[in-house]
Amino acid sequence: MKKSVSIFTVTLFTIGVIAIFIAGFSGTASATASSSSWANTKLSKEDCMREARTALTNAKFNNISHSASSVVGSRGPYYAVIRVIPEKQMVFIIVVGPDSSECDRFQTYLKTNGLW
């Protein structure tokens, strides 16, 4: 039961993030590609948030900001969100932008270069 609730939560979060980014790109019809993945982590929330910020900086994303559980950055027309879910020992990564292969490339970089 807990696993299905967490899958539902992550799916709902993903749909919400994609909807927000698509709404932000409403003037640009081609900006609808996305790529997402998750990684296991044993880091504390604070360490994981710090690592998310470092991963975005190393990937040359800028305008980096954060909320209580997410770190967001942009790189040209691409936006990345790294959501920290410490109670599930997971990090969720999503990249949205105009080209799906670039979204995949950025998402893969963030997942493999973060010290989750």
CA distances for 40 relative to 12, 33, 43, 86, 96, angstroms: 19, 24, 9, 9, 21
CA distances for 55 relative to 23, 48, 64, angstroms: 26, 10, 11
Residue 11: the pLDDT is 58
46 CB neighbour count, 10 Å cutoff: 10
Q: 98 and 74 in contact (C-beta within 8 Å)?
A: no
Confidence of residue 59 (pLDDT cuts 50, 70, 90): very high
Find the mean pLDDT for residues 12-34.
Answer: 61
Confidence of residue 114 (pLDDT cuts 50, 70, 90): confident
Q: Which CATH superfamily is domain 2-113 in?
A: Alpha-D-phosphohexomutase, C-terminal domain (3.30.310.50)
Q: 25 and 31 in contact (C-beta within 8 Å)?
A: yes
Domain ranges (residues) in the chain = 2-113
The tokens for 91 are 């990090």
Distance, CA of 115 to chain centre: 15
Of all residues in the chain, the percent with pLDDT exceeding 70 is 73
Mean pLDDT value across the chain = 85
C-alpha–C-alpha distance, residues 2 and 29, integer Å:
38
Residue 21: the pLDDT is 58
pLDDT tens for 67-93 read 999 999 999 999 999 999 999 999 999
Give 46-89 as a DSSP string: HHHHHHHHHHHHHTT-EEEEE-SSEEEEEETTEEEEEEEEGGGT
